[in-house]
């Protein structure tokens, strides 16, 4: 199984998905691969929230797993950052996503609105 592009509760994940850090106000460019996931395992594993953070916003829990500050402190997760325009444009225009677009017209409308169109 590859980890380039997948889905977690409706959110695109994987190292093939360009993104920004999920820490509020951070605009650091990352991807949604395992290198950036809180918990260090798919979907966050047993300890992490499964959100994605840049190097500045991931620390280390007592177990040695990479965690965001909220998971280290036992708090509720941050709100996820929205998809970056680069990713939205790709999903809206690349031929490989045509079947997905056909099956998800409401999401297509929402993505276009997020891009200002």
Q: From residue 112, give the alpha-carbon distance in Å to each of 43, 60, 88.
A: 27, 38, 8
pLDDT per residue as tens digits for the range 64-115? 999 999 999 999 999 999 999 999 999 999 999 999 999 999 999 999 999 9
Domain count, the chain: 2
45 and 19 belong to one structural domain: yes
Residue numbers of the domain that contains 105: 82-117
pLDDT per residue as tens digits for the range 25-37? 999 999 999 999 9
Element holding 93 (H helix, E strand): helix 85-93
58 and 91 belong to one structural domain: no
Token pair of 17, please? 């998905």
Q: How far is CA 16 from the centre of its chain?
A: 10
3-state helix, strand, coil in the chain (%, to 5): 35, 20, 45
């Amino acid at each position: 199984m590859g980890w380039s592009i997948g889905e977690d509760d409706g959110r695109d994940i994987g190292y093939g998905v360009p993104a920004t850090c999920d820490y509020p106000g951070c605009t650091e460019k990352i991807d949604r691969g395992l290198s950036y996931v809180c918990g260090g395992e798919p979907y966050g594993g047993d300890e992490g929230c499964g959100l994605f953070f840049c190097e500045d916003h991931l620390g280390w829990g007592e177990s040695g797993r990479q965690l965001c500050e909220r998971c280290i402190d036992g708090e509720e997760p941050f709100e996820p950052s929205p998809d970056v325009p680069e990713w939205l444009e790709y999903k809206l225009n690349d031929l490989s996503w045509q079947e997905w677009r056909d099956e998800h017209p409401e999401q297509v409308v929402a993505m276009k609105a997020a891009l200002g169109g």
